[in-house]
Amino acid sequence: MALSSNWRFLMLFAVIGFISGYVSAAAEASESKEFVVTLDHSNFTDFVAKQKFIVVEFYAPWCGHCKKLAPEYEKAASILSTADAPVVLAKVDANEEQNKVIASEYEIKGFPTLKILRYGGSVVQEYKGPRDAEGIVTYLQKQSGPASFEIKSPEDASSVVDSDKILVVGVFPEFSGEKFENFTTLAERLRADYDFGHTLDVKLLPRGDSSAAGPLVRLFKPFDELFADFQEFDVDALVKFVEETSIPTITLFNKDPKHHPFVIKFFNSPNAKAMLFLNFGTEQFDAFKSKYEEVAQLYKGKDLSFLMGDIEASQGAFQYFGIKEEQVPVIIIQTNDGQKYLKPNVEPDQIASWVKDFKDGNVQPYKKSEPIPEVNNEPVKVVVADSLQDMVFNSGKNVLLEFYAPWCGHCKSLAPILDEVAASFQNDADVLIAKIDATANDIPQDTFDVKGYPTLYFKSATGDLVQYDGDRTKTGIIDFINKNRATVAQQESRKEEL
Mean pLDDT in residue range 188-195? 88
Distance in angstroms (rounded) separating the CA atoms of residues 450 and 452: 6
Mean pLDDT in residue range 304-315? 92
Contact between residue 323 and residue 343 where contact means Cβ atoms under 8 Å apart:
no
Mean pLDDT in residue range 362-380? 93
Q: Between these two residues, 29 and 322, which has the higher pLDDT value?
A: 322
What Cα–Cα distance (Å) separates residue 118 from each residue in 11, 48, 109, 113, 182?
9, 9, 21, 16, 17
Distance in angstroms (rounded) separating the CA atoms of residues 323 and 306: 19
Mean pLDDT in residue range 80-92? 91
Same fold, 7-144 and 381-497: yes
Mean pLDDT in residue range 236-260? 91
Q: Is the predicted pLDDT of residue 232 greater than 90, yes or no?
A: yes
- What positions carry a catalytic annotation? 63, 66, 408, 411
- Side by side, the strands of the sheet bearing 330-334 are 250-253, 304-310, 272-278, 330-334, 340-343
Q: Is the predicted pLDDT of residue 171 greater than 90, yes or no?
A: yes
What's the predicted TM-score (pTM) here? 0.63
CATH topology of domain 149-245: Glutaredoxin (3.40.30)
pLDDT of residue 23: 35
pLDDT of residue 448: 93
Q: What is the mean pLDDT of the chain?
A: 88
- For 42-57, the pLDDT digits (tens) are 999 999 999 999 999 9
Residue 364 confidence class, pLDDT cut points 50, 70, 90:
very high
- Side by side, the strands of the sheet bearing 455-459 are 381-382, 431-437, 398-404, 455-459, 465-468
Residue 374 confidence class, pLDDT cut points 50, 70, 90:
very high
Mean pLDDT in residue range 249-265? 90
400 phi, psi to nearest 5 deg: -100, 120
Least confident of 2-16, 99-113, 309-323, 459-473: 2-16
CATH of 250-359, one of 3.40.30.10, 3.40.720.10, 1.10.760.10, 3.30.360.10: 3.40.30.10
Residue 258 confidence class, pLDDT cut points 50, 70, 90:
confident
The CATH code of domain 381-497 reads 3.40.30.10
| Percent over 70 (pLDDT), the chain | 91
Domain boundaries, the chain: 7-144, 149-245, 250-359, 381-497
Q: Is the predicted pLDDT of residue 17 greater than 80, yes or no?
A: no
Q: Is the predicted pLDDT of residue 302 greater than 70, yes or no?
A: yes
Q: Is the predicted pLDDT of residue 457 greater than 70, yes or no?
A: yes
CA 396 remoteness from chain centre:
37
pLDDT of residue 38: 96
Q: Maximum CA pair distance of the chain?
A: 84
- For 427-436, the pLDDT digits (tens) are 999 999 999 9
Least confident of 178-192, 310-324, 358-372, 478-492: 478-492
> Domain 7-144 is in which class?
alpha beta
